[in-house]
């Protein structure tokens, strides 16, 4: 009987642990934040428990390695002292390994390849991108720095190059770099020669003038691409037709009649490929839901208030049951329950209070 009780308690403990997964939150540290926060997220209930914090200056955007044992953060400082930092994660705590300059001011995005030992940082203030080789022990080596040039029609926001993000194509043969300042997406081929990597510019796309491309997502096959325009608060849908990206549609992420200021921030596609979400800051403070039909076309469904101000990054839990929005200006993360059948969101009433949340990574 006693052995049976011990076995049962052991099973309950293991089940409890199994339903909690690590969740990292990147922040700005000018208003009391310690840096990077580790929460344990209960994927069954949507509860989040603060676990630990790791000191780092303005670790605004985060990226996790494919196997989960490394975390990378851009330290978004407004001058050339800005860095990319690396941390090991043993399932319990982060340990600092390395930091190396990004070669530009205000790095706002980092992406890590699942196929290659590469990370790419976008320097918004410097208008450039930096390419890094990643070592298994967490070491970082900068192998390339690419300066982009140009302007756009908005004299206040597009007075110079502002690289906002870089994303690997689904097959990871190419990198797509979004420049808010020039209304361009530059496409680079990943070249590998004798284990040495470099990005080689192939072509570029001009996005709608004055829109300011910020982030994008692909479908699984790389046949459809959805580009979020920050200043216009619109999604531009492109389709790959015989190797050439062709504009299919442009849709607003706002409700009809909205006349306030825009600041579109993040775009994500559900893992099943059926739904697309996009956040808008400014006067909207909303997240929009679109259905994706079999051809890849977007169908507007609904807009939700985010339960705070300045919705920056958001993320969908790995099992697709929850969507969490980081409201930077009101120091809170809103937890939505998500229907995997309809894509609809329901505010759970649960909040995570954290200073200036910017990025959420599982």
In the chain the domains, ranked by start, together with CATH numbers, are 20-361 (2.130.10.10)
Q: Can you tell me the distance from the alpha carbon of 245 to that of 227, in angstroms, rounded to the nearest whole number? A: 12
Q: What is the mean pLDDT of residues 317-332?
A: 98
For β-strands 234-241 and 224-229, DSSP reports them as antiparallel
Task: Tell me the pLDDT band of 17, cut-offs 50, 70 and 90.
Answer: low
pLDDT exceeds cutoff 70 at 322: yes
pLDDT exceeds cutoff 60 at 13: no
Helical segments of the chain, H only: 2-18
The whole-number pLDDT of residue 276 equals: 98
pLDDT exceeds cutoff 80 at 323: yes
Task: Tell me the pLDDT band of 2, cut-offs 50, 70 and 90.
Answer: low
Is-above-0.85 flag for pTM? yes
pLDDT in tens, 139-189: 999 999 999 999 999 999 999 999 999 999 999 999 999 999 999 999 999
SS3 89: strand
pLDDT exceeds cutoff 50 at 9: no
How would DSSP label each residue in 283-349?
A: TT-EEEEEEE-TTS-EEEEEEEE-SSS-EEEEEE-TTSSEEEEEETTTTEEEEEEE-TTT--EEEEE
Task: Tell me the pLDDT band of 1, cut-offs 50, 70 and 90.
Answer: low
SS3 59: strand
Q: What is the mean pLDDT of residues 232-254?
A: 97
Task: Tell me the pLDDT band of 18, cut-offs 50, 70 and 90.
Answer: confident
pLDDT in tens, 83-107: 999 999 999 999 999 999 999 999 9
């Amino acid at each position: 009987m006693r052995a049976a009780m011990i076995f049962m308690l052991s099973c309950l403990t293991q089940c409890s642990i199994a339903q909690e997964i690590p969740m990292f939150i990147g922040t700005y540290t000018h208003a009391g934040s310690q840096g990077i926060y580790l929460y344990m997220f209960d994927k069954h209930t949507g509860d989040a428990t603060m676990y630990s914090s790791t000191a780092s200056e303005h670790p605004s955007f985060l990226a996790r390695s494919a196997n989960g044992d490394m975390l990378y953060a851009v330290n978004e400082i407004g001058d050339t002292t800005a860095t990319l930092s690396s941390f090991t994660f043993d399932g319990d705590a982060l340990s600092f390994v390395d930091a190396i300059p990004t070669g530009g001011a205000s790095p706002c995005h980092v992406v890590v390849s699942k196929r290659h030992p590469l990370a790419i940082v976008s320097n918004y203030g410097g208008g450039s991108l930096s390419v890094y080789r990643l070592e298994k022990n967490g070491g970082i080596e900068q192998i390339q720095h690419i300066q982009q040039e140009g302007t756009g029609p908005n004299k206040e926001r597009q007075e110079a190059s502002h690289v906002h993000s870089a994303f690997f194509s689904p097959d990871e043969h190419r990198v797509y770099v979004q420049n808010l300042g020039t209304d361009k997406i530059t496409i680079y081929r990943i070249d590998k020669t004798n284990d040495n990597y470099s990005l080689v510019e192939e072509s570029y796309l001009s996005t709608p003038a004055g829109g300011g491309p910020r982030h994008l997502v692909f479908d699984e096959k790389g046949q459809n691409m959805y580009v979020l325009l920050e200043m216009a608060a619109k999604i531009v849908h492109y389709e790959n037709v015989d190797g050439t990206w062709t504009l299919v549609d442009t849709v607003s992420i706002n409700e009809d009649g909205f006349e306030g200021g825009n600041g579109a921030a993040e775009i994500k596609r559900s893992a099943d490929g059926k739904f697309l979400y996009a956040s808008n800051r400014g006067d909207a403070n909303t997240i929009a839901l679109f259905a994706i039909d079999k051809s890849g076309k977007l169908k507007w469904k609904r807009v939700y208030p985010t339960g705070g101000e300045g919705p920056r990054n958001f993320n969908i839990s790995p099992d697709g049951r929850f969507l969490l929005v980081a409201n930077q200006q009101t120091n809170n993360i809103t937890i939505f329950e998500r229907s995997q059948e309809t894509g609809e969101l329901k505010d759970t009433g649960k909040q995570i209070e954290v200073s200036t949340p910017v990025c959420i990574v599982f």
